[in-house]
Amino acid sequence: MEIIKNVKGTHDIFAEENDAYDYVESLMKSISELYAFNGVRPPVLEYNSVFVRGVGESSDIVRKEMYTFPDKGGRDLTLRPEFTAGIMRLVVQNKLYATSELPIKLYYCGPVFRYERPQLGRYRQFNQFGVESIGNNAPMNDVEVIVLAYTILSSLGLEGVTLKINTLGDESSRDNYRNALKKYFSSHIGNMCEDCKSRFELNPLRILDCKVPEDRPIIDHAPKIGDYISIESKQRFDTILEALEVLQIPYEIDEGLVRGLDYYSETVFEFHYKSKKGADYGAIGAGGHYGKLMQELGGPELPGVGFSFGIERIVSVLKDDELLEDIKKKVDVYIMPLGEEANLYAQEIAVILRNGGGYKTDICFDKTKLGNMFKRATNKNAKFAVIVGEEEINTDSVIIKDLAKQEQITVSIDELVNKLDELMDEGDEE
């Protein structure tokens, strides 16, 4: 029978790659906890309106990329194409702003879905990790979020990450800029791509994101946002840039950076990194400040700032740069039962090691020669082998073999955990 393959744009994650995802995600979580962010898990399924109202009708995501379908009860549902709008829905619905100190600091991790053309670094189901800091408008919240993102990337070993940053200004700055763009593009739009034509109607700011090469020269000559920023927004942006300088976070101002989601205002930023192999997977993370998102979802007027990393892209650059070599998972103990009757005894020993000692333990249940068992122990990067046969069963003991030193001793079951603790300590000191 023909085998069934995975859906286009999705990918299976297993073996060493799964270890890499675990490593990256747990590092991101633990550093975010140091910055006093707490985990949150919104559902994958939301009503369509969360994203139409949240992300915005003029965004590519809502216009073209959402997995939206009616469920059997006729509800219009969407598989989340991003986290921020769903988190804002969660905060509003559960009135977190009334019970928590502001800002509410949340992190999240999980799959998102976008119907895009699959290519290098671009999937239809991919994973994001990100944070949101909600409810306090001080520019230092933007700084804290950027510093957190930068620290995570440095802790993963990525050196020379480019932080591109820009300001979209406040509402009046953006209105003025939008009008200026409308005026400029009105004489060019007839010669631009179909996508730009509808962007022109919905939100001319989106035209700046166009990737069609023939449109680029027109876009490159468009008015720049810097000329339309209000004095307050300019001051806010300067405060943020000054703080980044003091905190030694290198940045590049990119006036073309507008981000594809409608909810952004004031600060927007992206992280770029070219792997040592030269592969460019696109932005590895991005984010910004948002003013009106919570109101769009029926909540109070509370601003926020956040970022989102693409885990697939980060794992790809780490792999290319050989920064995942040290994360190979190791088994502490590999138990080798000699003969059928030693299998149950091996289970008892495993309970002692796992529950009593906290040792990551695996057992070989295959009827195979001792030599093969040692090969498997090596493949699992085991530190110790515990060998049990008839003799050991009869004397309530086990043989512990240090696989690095190739030395072995016999110990009673009662002494097993203590002895192993000692041997592990010795190994760590050397």
Q: Which is nearer to ligand AMP, 129 or 334 (CB)?
A: 129
Least Å distance between CB 121 and ligand AMP?
6
Q: What does the block give as tokens for 360?
A: 């990551």
Q: Crossing angle of helices 15-34/311-320, nearest 10°?
A: 110
| 398 binds ligand AMP per the rule CB under 6 A | no
> Per CB under 6 A, which region of 153-161, 308-316, 341-349, 407-415 contacts ligand AMP?
308-316
The count of chain residues that interact with ligand AMP, using the rule CB under 6 A, is: 17
In degrees and rounded to multiples of 5, residue 69 shows phi and psi of -155, 155
Q: What does the block give as tokens for 20?
A: 């890499």
| 116 binds ligand AMP per the rule CB under 6 A | yes
Within 13 Å, how many C-alpha atoms sit on residue 139's CB side? Answer: 19
> Per CB under 6 A, which region of 25-33, 115-123, 142-150, 332-340 contacts ligand AMP?
115-123
| 42 binds ligand AMP per the rule CB under 6 A | no
Which spans in 187-292 are helix H? Answer: 194-202, 216-220, 231-246
In the chain, % helix, strand, coil (3-state, to 5) comes to 45, 20, 35
Residue 243: DSSP 8-state: H
| 152 binds ligand AMP per the rule CB under 6 A | no
| 254 binds ligand AMP per the rule CB under 6 A | no
Q: Which is nearer to ligand AMP, 211 or 369 (CB)?
A: 211
**Do residues 283 and 270 make contact, with C-beta atoms less than 8 angstroms apart?**
yes
CB atoms within 10 A of CB 120: 10
In the three-class reduction of DSSP (H, G, I as helix; E, B as strand; rest coil), residue 409 is classed as strand
Q: From residue 277 to residue 306, what is the string marking binding to ligand AMP with x (rule CB under 6 A)?
A: ------xxxx--------------------
Which of 105, 114, 383, 401 binds ligand AMP (CB under 6 A)? It is 114
- Residue 362: enclosing H or E segment and its boundaries? strand 361-363
Q: What does the block give as tokens for 353?
A: 């090691």
| 310 binds ligand AMP per the rule CB under 6 A | yes
Strands of 407-412's sheet in order across: 361-363, 333-337, 384-388, 397-402, 407-412
| 312 binds ligand AMP per the rule CB under 6 A | yes
| 241 binds ligand AMP per the rule CB under 6 A | no
| 313 binds ligand AMP per the rule CB under 6 A | yes
Least Å distance between CB 151 and ligand AMP?
17
Least Å distance between CB 142 and ligand AMP?
16
**Do residues 53 and 297 make contact, with C-beta atoms less than 8 angstroms apart?**
yes
Q: From residue 68 to residue 97, what is the string marking binding to ligand AMP with x (rule CB under 6 A)?
A: --------------x---------------
Residue 134: DSSP 8-state: E
Q: What does the block give as tokens for 342?
A: 């030693």
| 123 binds ligand AMP per the rule CB under 6 A | yes
Least Å distance between CB 381 and ligand AMP?
30
Least Å distance between CB 93 and ligand AMP?
22
Least Å distance between CB 86 and ligand AMP?
12
> Per CB under 6 A, which region of 214-222, 236-244, 310-318, 357-365 contacts ligand AMP?
310-318
**Do residues 222 and 208 make contact, with C-beta atoms less than 8 angstroms apart?**
yes
| 150 binds ligand AMP per the rule CB under 6 A | no
Q: What does the block give as tokens for 1?
A: 């029978």
CA distances from 327 to 51, 314, 339, 407 (A): 37, 15, 34, 26
Residues listed for the chain: 430
Which of 11, 122, 319, 376 binds ligand AMP (CB under 6 A)? It is 122
In the three-class reduction of DSSP (H, G, I as helix; E, B as strand; rest coil), residue 85 is classed as helix
Beta bridge partner(s), residue 397: 412
**Do residues 166 and 268 make contact, with C-beta atoms less than 8 angstroms apart?**
yes
| 274 binds ligand AMP per the rule CB under 6 A | no
| 262 binds ligand AMP per the rule CB under 6 A | no
| 272 binds ligand AMP per the rule CB under 6 A | no
Nearest to 89, CA basis, from 123, 23, 42:
42
> Per CB under 6 A, which region of 67-75, 120-128, 144-152, 189-197 contacts ligand AMP?
120-128
Q: Which is nearer to ligand AMP, 78 or 361 (CB)?
A: 78
Q: Which is nearer to ligand AMP, 25 or 82 (CB)?
A: 82
Least Å distance between CB 136 and ligand AMP?
22
- Residues forming contacts to ligand AMP in the complex (CB under 6 A) are 82, 114, 116, 121-123, 126, 128, 260, 283-286, 308, 310, 312-313
